[in-house]
Every structure is written in structure tokens, then in C-alpha cells.
Amino acid sequence: MRAKEADIKAEYEEPLSPVCNDSCLEFFFKADGEEDYINFEINPNGCMCIQFGGKERFDIVRENGREYFGVSTARTEDGWEVFYRIPLKFIRMFYNDFNFDRDIMANMYKCGNHTVHKHFIAWSRIDTEKPNFHLPEFFKRMAFE
């Protein structure tokens, strides 16, 4: 994921920190037909907040999260980027029979709650009065190739 951003904020470094207050890129997804979803929120330091659930979510902590997910970040000329992988065995902890021949329902976000220019951007439009990314009814179908 890549973000064009002039005033990057990256303060948090501990797992499960509120990285949405920093410059943040997020990926939320669920197996098609499931209710609960997994959300990955990552700042430019590679600090991750990962949760699973729906209206009520629980935090997922991995002591070696950066290593396990292969997280790497970099500053670019006009912003920053993050790369990571989500192992199939991790996904199957939540969706037992998940395979990549199934579509997922997903959305991707860019936010910065406490940045110089507070912002909220979504790949798939969220039609609510106040920004709220935790609304799977606005996820869109995504297929693997």
C-alpha cells in the first residue's frame, strides 16, 4: 500500500498502539459470507494494530508481528509505503476453510486522526455522517488472481 502524504506523522512503535492517530494505511477484510472481519492498521514505523470481530473486536497480538507478516516500510518522494504479507495459516485461524479461490469482502483506508491535516479516505465509499471504517456493509468484493 502507498500513500501520498506531505506531513507524515509516525509516533507509535508498540504493537496494538492506536496507529490510526498517526499517518496510517488500513486493510479490512472478511471471507465472503462471514460476519466478522480482520483489520490491519499500520503506520510508517511498521507498527501494527490487528483486530478480529465485528461490532465488538478483540486485539490480536504477535510478539514477532513485523517478522511474521514481513512488514517493511519506506519513505518515498511524495509520501510513504508499506509492504506485508498475510499467511494463509493466519487467515485460517479465523476462517478454517479459507482458500484463495474464494473472493473476500474488503475495504482499504488512509487516515490520520491526529495528523496536521486530519483525513479519512476509503477505497470503497462509506456513506455515513461521521467517518467510521468499521462498517463491513460498505466492503466490496475482491478477487485473487
Query: Which whole number is the average pLDDT over 79-91?
Result: 95
| Whole-number CA gyration radius for the chain | 15
CB-CB contact of 80 with 115 (8 Å): no
| In contact, 23 and 112? CB cutoff 8 Å | yes
Judging by beta carbons within 10 Å of its beta carbon (0-12, 13-18, 19+), is residue 100 exposed, middle or buried? exposed
Q: What is the pLDDT of residue 131?
A: 77
Average pLDDT over the chain, rounded to an integer = 92
pLDDT reported for residue 145: 79
Mean pLDDT of 19-36: 94
Banded pLDDT at 132 (limits 50, 70, 90): confident
User: Once rounded to an integer, what is the mean pLDDT over residues 73-100?
Assistant: 95
Beta strand 119-122 with 104-112: parallel, antiparallel or unpaired? Answer: antiparallel
For residue 48, what are the β-bridge partners?
A: 42
Domains of the chain, earliest start first: 2-142 (2.60.40.1190)
Q: Which amino acid is at 96?
A: N
The grid coordinates of residue 82 equal: 508499506
Output the pLDDT for position 47.
Answer: 94
Instruction: Work out the angle at residue 115's Cα, subtended by the Cα atoms of residues 120 and 61, and round it to the nearest 5 degrees.
Output: 75
- What pLDDT, on the 0 to 100 scale, is given for residue 99? 87
> Rounded to two decimals, what is the model's pTM?
0.92
Look at residue 91 and give its three-state secondary structure.
Answer: helix
Of the pLDDT bands very low, low, confident and very high (cuts 50, 70, 90), residue 22 is very high
